[in-house]
Chains A and B, each alone.
Chain A
Amino acid sequence: GCTSRNDPGQTAEPGATDGASTEDLTIAFVPKLQGIPYFEAMNTGGQQAAEELGFEWLYQGPTTADAAAQADIVRSFIQQGVDVLFVAPNDPNSMAPLLEEAQAAGIHVATTDTDAPDSVREVFVNQASVDGIGEALTDTLLEAMGGSGQYAIVSCGETAANLNAWIEVQEAYTASEYPDAEIVDIVYAGEDQAAATQMATDLMNSHPDLTGLVGECTSSAPGVAQAVEDAGRTGEVFTVGLGTPQSMLPYLESGSSSGSILWDVEALGYLTGWAGVQLATDGDLGDLSGVDNEALAEAEYDESTGVLLLGPPTVFTAENAGDYDY
């Protein structure tokens, strides 16, 4: 016939790897977007795991953070019959049905970095809890601001679910813990650094009493710091953000950024790879004892929610940011 979907054994042989060797195990990861340091660092971590644990690590991302382009790649991995498929979905809802298809094809499916909660994913490898990130951002900024004052948030994609979730935590946490502080505006600059810088400048102008800025993603975190530096207001206006260490280093050193909240991204990639092996071999996700990686020391698995948490977020400062090469 014109289809081979009825031929037995055509699709991947997921059963073939039962507990045995990981030699011909393939674990694929589809990031939201290729070429940005964040996901490339995850890729590095995943590759490291692949070398140490002995499996094949595949990584392929779309050139724009676009759900449709991402879906094409996921489909090609389904076709390739990988054993485990990790996705960091651009749009969690849209990924759910595709993950179901993948599972039907005998592939272990999981999410990392961003969850697709209403899907069939077996595990979500979480970098840090939503609360942990939101609170760390708020605490770090308000420490610099002296516990009070006006601040604004420069976010990125308007529809990015995780950013919006963190912002919600920041709003609630600021209101409850820092009554003298106030979020005066939230703006969206897309993934465009220059736009983020310009918007931060506009915010400083329109709110003369503004003393804090948050860059909510890896492109706006350096952007807001740059704006403060350009305006010559380092030391008057404080910024924090979710920036990768290398891109934040100059600003952390100059003081225009008071801290970058992130996590060990390579470790997240490593953890993803490791989780993939566990899924394929029916291993115990809660048992990290065999892992020889101190960055994963605080990782823990919550059986009930299926979330594998890397640990609390890391605050990068001028002192430690140089230790990371991404």
Chain B
Amino acid sequence: MTTDTAAPVRSAQLSLRRILPPIVTGQEIVLLAVLVVLWVVLGIFTPAFLTPGSIGPLLVQVAPIALIGVGMTFVIITAGIDVSVAAMIMVSAVTTARMLVAFDIPAILAVLVAVVIGSALGALNGLLIAYGRVHPIIITFGTANLFQWLGLRVFDSSTVNGIPSTLEFFGRGGAGSTFGVPHSFAIAVLAVAAAWWFLRYAKAGRNLYAIGGNQNAARLAGIKVQPRLVWVYVITGALAGLAACMVIATGTATLDQSVGSGKELQVIAAVVIGGTSILGGRGSVVGTLLGAILVQTVVSGVTQLGWPTQLGFLFVGIFILIAVGTDLIRERTRRRA
């Protein structure tokens, strides 16, 4: 290495390229490859996997997971976790659905209601985590119970029937897609793109990695750690609210209290398959999107192959191990180098 003191600026530009992590991570390439292989295999062994009629609904199913996955990626990058997302979906969905039925509010308003509710719940998480200084998993276990209670109260021992098709823009049907691209998936992709840019180039985004890498040092460096943390959980809540709209739209005209259940683990699975380190400080939203698609591909693929449905989750488990395993190995070789 020659130290070119004479031309610091040029030297600066030279190293600029490598100041930020590479545009695509190894994990994303691996995931993409696995996905391509899976899709080709499924395309060969099932009659109709690679048709718009099959891929479209699959992507619709992916959308809410990927969308919340964006928020969850932020959360996990800050070395946190949020196990209350399923309960947040439930509260947002039932409240919004009830308002749709009772007041026939327009779609924009419905989305607004859902997002505001999600944000409020997320803010509670964020405030307790940032200022209570209790581990996020404990706080969100606690709030998950509270939110569930809240959701059940809103359900009031009944289902919400006759939900109008106001939100069909996000739906699985014809109104839910343009040129075969489901709107909900497109929204998820947009969110991923925005988050990718944010995490890579924006000050506030880069600071999340710092917070996750060493929270104390981040505080000493003058980063306002606590407000940042609150925002991260608020964003997750807001996205859960938006996802709730998609859940309403892709569901039937009836909403019951099982809405959202199990989604928290699905989202976390997508995020960790995507290469985000559960220890914080490292992660990518593109990986999360690919992870969400992978999980849904496996589950749908098993059904389409005619195998027992339950086997799908065995494969999901195995994929989690493989995906994170390759990441671990790569990380280890990087460290050694």
Contact flag A230-B256 (CB < 8 Å), given A192-B261, A205-B47, A249-B162: no
Least Cβ–Cβ distance between A260 and chain B, in angstroms = 12
> Please, how many angstroms separate the alpha-carbon atoms of A95 and B144 in the complex?
29
Which of these binds chain B: A7-15, A35-43, A69-77, A272-280? Answer: A35-43
A30 to B329, CA, bound (A): 52
Indicate whether A208 sits within 8 Å of B309 (C-beta atoms), given known contacts A35-B257, A192-B258, A201-B54. no
Residue from A184, A208, A222, A226 in contact with B48 in the complex, judged by beta carbons closer than 8 Å = A208
* Distance of A135 Cα from B162 Cα, bound (Å): 29
Report the count of interface residues on B (CB-CB < 8 A): 43
Chain B interface helix/strand/loop/mixed: loop
Select the stretch in B9-17, B216-224, B274-282, B299-307 that faces chain A.
B299-307
Cβ 8 A contact of A193, one of B152, B254, B304: B254
Chain B nearest CB, measured from A255 CB (Å): 14
The one of B173, B262, B305 that contacts A192, using a Cβ cutoff of 8 Å: B262
Q: Is the CB of B174 within 8 A of A194?
A: no
Q: A35-B157, A247-B161 are in contact. Are A225 and B51 (CB under 8 A)?
A: no
Write the B77-120 contact mask toward A (1 if CB under 8 angstroms, else 0). Answer: 00000000000000000000000000000000000000000000
Q: With a CB–CB cut-off of 8 A, which chain A residues contact B157?
A: 34-35, 40
Taking each of B256, B262, B310, which has the highest tally of chain A beta carbons within 10 Å of its own beta carbon? B256
Q: How far is the CA of A251 from the CA of B173 in the complex (A)?
A: 14
Q: Does A313 contact B (CB under 8 A)?
A: no
- A191, B257: Cα distance in complex, Å: 10
Dominant SS among interface residues on chain A = helix
User: Do A187 and B303 touch (CB < 8 A)?
Assistant: yes
Whether B172 and A193, one on each chain, are in contact in the complex, defined by CB atoms closer than 8 angstroms, is no
Q: Is A258 part of the binding interface, using a Cβ–Cβ cutoff of 8 Å?
A: no
B250 lies within 8 A of chain A by Cβ = yes
Q: Does B46 contact A (CB under 8 A)?
A: yes
Please give the distance in Å from A216's CB to the nearest CB on chain B: 13
Closest to B176 in A: A230
Residue B57 interfacial (CB < 8 Å): yes
CB atoms of A191 and B258 under 8 A apart: yes
User: Could you tell me how many residues of chain A have their Cβ less than 8 Å away from some Cβ of chain B?
Assistant: 43
Distance of A279 Cα from B247 Cα, bound (Å): 45
CB pair A229–B173 under 8 Å, yes or no, is: yes
Contacts of B257 in A (CB 8 A): 35-36, 63
Is B254 within 8 A of A247, CB to CB?
Answer: yes
Distance, CA A207 to CA B48, complexed state (A): 8
B61 at the interface (CB under 8 A from A): yes
Chain B residues with Cβ below 8 Å from A232 are 173-174
Complex formed: what's the CA distance from A63 to B151 in Å?
Answer: 11
User: Nearest B residue to A215 by beta-carbon distance?
Assistant: B252
Residue B251 interfacial (CB < 8 Å) = yes
Contact with A along B239-276 (1 / 0, CB 8 A): 00000000100111111111101100000000000000
Q: Within 8 Å CB of B57, what residues of A?
A: 198, 201, 227, 230-231
Distance between B308 CB and nearest chain A CB, rounded to angstroms:
8
Q: Contact mask A150-176 → B, CB, 8 Å, 1/0?
A: 000000001000000000000000000
Residues of A within 8 A of B161 (CB): 37, 246-247
A66 at the interface (CB under 8 A from B): no
Given contacts A36-B159, A36-B257, contact A230 B173 (CB under 8 A): yes
CB <8 Å contact, A193 and B251: yes
For residue A206, CB closer than 8 A to chain B, the reply is: yes
Interface string of A198-227 (1 = CB under 8 A from B): 110111111110000000000100110111
Please give the residue numbers on chain A whose beta carbons come within 8 Å of chain B beta carbons, in ascending order: 34-37, 40, 63, 158, 184-185, 187-194, 197-199, 201-208, 219, 222-223, 225-227, 229-232, 246-247, 249-251
Q: Which residues of B contact A (CB under 8 A)?
A: 46-49, 51, 53-54, 57-58, 61, 148, 152, 155, 157-159, 161-162, 171-174, 176, 247, 250-259, 261-262, 300, 303-306, 309-310
Q: Which 5 A-B pairs have the closest CB atoms?
A: A222-B252, A206-B304, A230-B172, A247-B254, A205-B54
Additional 16 contacts, C-beta under 8 A, given A194-B259, A231-B53, A232-B174: A35-B256, A35-B257, A158-B310, A185-B306, A190-B258, A192-B258, A194-B61, A194-B251, A202-B304, A205-B304, A206-B304, A222-B254, A230-B173, A231-B57, A247-B159, A247-B254
A sample of 19 cross-chain residue pairs with beta-carbon separation below 8 angstroms, ordered by A number, consists of A37-B158, A158-B310, A190-B262, A197-B250, A202-B54, A203-B304, A205-B48, A205-B51, A205-B304, A223-B252, A225-B252, A229-B173, A230-B57, A230-B176, A232-B173, A232-B174, A246-B254, A247-B161, A251-B252
